[in-house]
Structure 1
Amino acid sequence: MKPLIAMSIFLALTACEQATQRVDGMAREGAKGVVTEAIATRFPQVPKELITPFTNCVIDNADATEVRVFAKSAIIGVDDTTVATIRSVLSRPETVQCLSRSSFGASGIPM
């Protein structure tokens, strides 16, 4: 009986983790439009051809709380909180490394 209970708990937790990953992926995909808009309109120093790599690196390195900020911005519009959140993600070493790899491939110019 105990192995059956343990297996049931394991399967339930696995299903929960898969559902969480799917929801996170959908939220990140939905947030891309907001981040793209914010980078295009609020970060004029980013060349047009690098907006997509910047967006992808921000989304990939944002935590769940930051993704929620972006999701909220999709409803109410880009505001100072959105911009501050993007700046925070952009300042992380992992994001800088992502941008270096992505922008070099996109433009041939290292960042």
Structure 2
Amino acid sequence: MSGPLEQSAEEIARTQAKTVVNGVVAQKLPGVNAAPVTDCIIDNAELSEIYTIAKGAVVGVTDETVSTVMGVAQRPETVRCIAQNGASLL
């Protein structure tokens, strides 16, 4: 069971990760509305991946950050989420 402090850390990490993912999506998929894509990536990322992505907000976006974001983006569940939210990658 997680306490309030852990929940707060997770919420902060998710907020930071969303900012990073928005930037990566905008760079890698120009012309795509980043918001729904970002939400799908965040929702389908594991907590460890959220922390890896969020680290990019502090130390800068690295190849590992981009690789993590794009890896989550290519998962079947994430692709389905993006399709259901009306965001097209094509």
Residue of structure 2 aligned with 1:37, choices 23, 45, 59: 23
- Pick 1 or 2: higher relative contact order, CA cutoff 8 A, min separation 6: 2
Q: Which runs of 4+ in 1 moved over 6 A?
A: none
Between structure 1 and structure 2, the one with the greater Rg is 1
Does 2:83 correspond to 1:100? yes
Structure 2 residues without counterparts, runs of 5 or longer:
none
* Greater per-residue helix proportion: 1
State the Cα distance separating 1:68 from its structure 2 match: 1.0
Percent identity at matched positions? Answer: 37
RMSD (Å) for aligned C-alpha atoms: 2.2
Unaligned runs of 5+ in 1: 1-12
Residue by residue, what CA displacement relative to the aligned partner does 1:76-108 show, whole Å, maximum 9, x if unpaired? 111211111011101111101110111x2x6xx
Question: What is the aligned length?
Answer: 90
What do residues 36-95 of structure 1 show as CA deviations (whole Å, max 9, x unaligned)?
A: 111112x13x424x2111111111111011111112111111121111101110111110
Scaled by the length of structure 2, what TM-score is found? 0.82
